[in-house]
Amino acid sequence: YKSGGTWVQQAKLVAGNADAGDKFGRSVSISGDYVVVSSPFEDTTATDSGSVYIFKRSGTTWSQQQQIQASDAADSDFLGAGIGQGGGGIAIDNDYFIIGAVNNDDGGTNTGSAYIFKRNTGSETWSEQSKLVASDPTAGDQFGTTVSISGDYAVAGAPNQDTTASNAGSAYVFKRETASLNQVGHKIPDEHTAYYAASDWICQSVSGTVG
C-alpha cells in the first residue's frame, strides 16, 4: 500500500493449497478490496487446467476467499497463463473478473477462450457467468492470452490470429447485455509483418478503460 510517497508491503499472498509447479501469481489484478490471482498449472480439476484464487482485504489483512476453476476445465488449458512470463491473463473490475484459458480447445486445438465470473449479490462467493470465444476461431490462436474488463465491456487478445498476416493477432471486444456478453466486433491493426512487431502491442497487452 502507499504511505505518503512510499510503497510499503502489506501482505504476501499464497495459495491455500500451493503445490510445486503451480506458478501461482502468473497473472494478477486488483480492484477495491479484491485481488484475483491465477495459478495456471494447478491441478485440482485436471492436469495443468489451472485455478484462480480470490483474496479480500479486511483492514490490513488479506484472506483467501475462494478458489475456482472453469466449468469445463481440461488438461493443459492453463487458466490465467497470460503471455510469456508477463501475465496479463486475468483482470478484475468491481464485481466482475475475466480470465483467459489460452489452450482451451472448443474451436480447435489451442484456439483459447475466456471466462467471466461475477460476485453473487449479497454474498462473498463468485460464480461463472459467461464463456467467451472468438467468432472465427482457428487452431493455435490462443484467444484469451491477454484480457481486460471495464464496466459492460470486456476485451480478449488472440496474438496468433491470422486475419491480416501470420500471427498478426486480433483483439475481440465484447459487451454485456443483461446477464451475458456478446461480441460486438474485433479490432485488427492495419499492418502486421511478424509476431512481436512494433505494431502488435494491441494483441500483446490490453488494459485500461475500453468503450
* Mean pLDDT, 10 residues at a time, the chain of 211 residues: 88 96 96 96 97 96 96 96 84 96 95 95 92 92 94 91 88 81 58 34 45 37
- Cα(62)–Cα(147) distance, rounded to whole angstroms? 24
- Cα(131)–Cα(118) distance, rounded to whole angstroms? 12
Condensed to tens digits (0 to 9), the pLDDT of residues 79-124 reads 999 887 777 899 999 999 999 999 999 999 999 999 999 999 988 8
- Cα(183)–Cα(131) distance, rounded to whole angstroms? 11
The continuous run of DSSP H or E covering 202 comes out as: helix 201-204
E strands of 59-179, at which residues? 61-68, 90-93, 96-101, 113-119, 126-132, 146-150, 153-158, 170-177
On the 0-12 / 13-18 / 19+ scale of CB atoms within 10 A, 123 is exposed
Whole-number pLDDT of residue 194: 32
pTM: 0.86
Whole-number pLDDT of residue 155: 92
On the 0-12 / 13-18 / 19+ scale of CB atoms within 10 A, 52 is buried
Query: Residue 127 corresponds to which cell in the numbers above?
Result: 460464480
Whole-number pLDDT of residue 186: 55
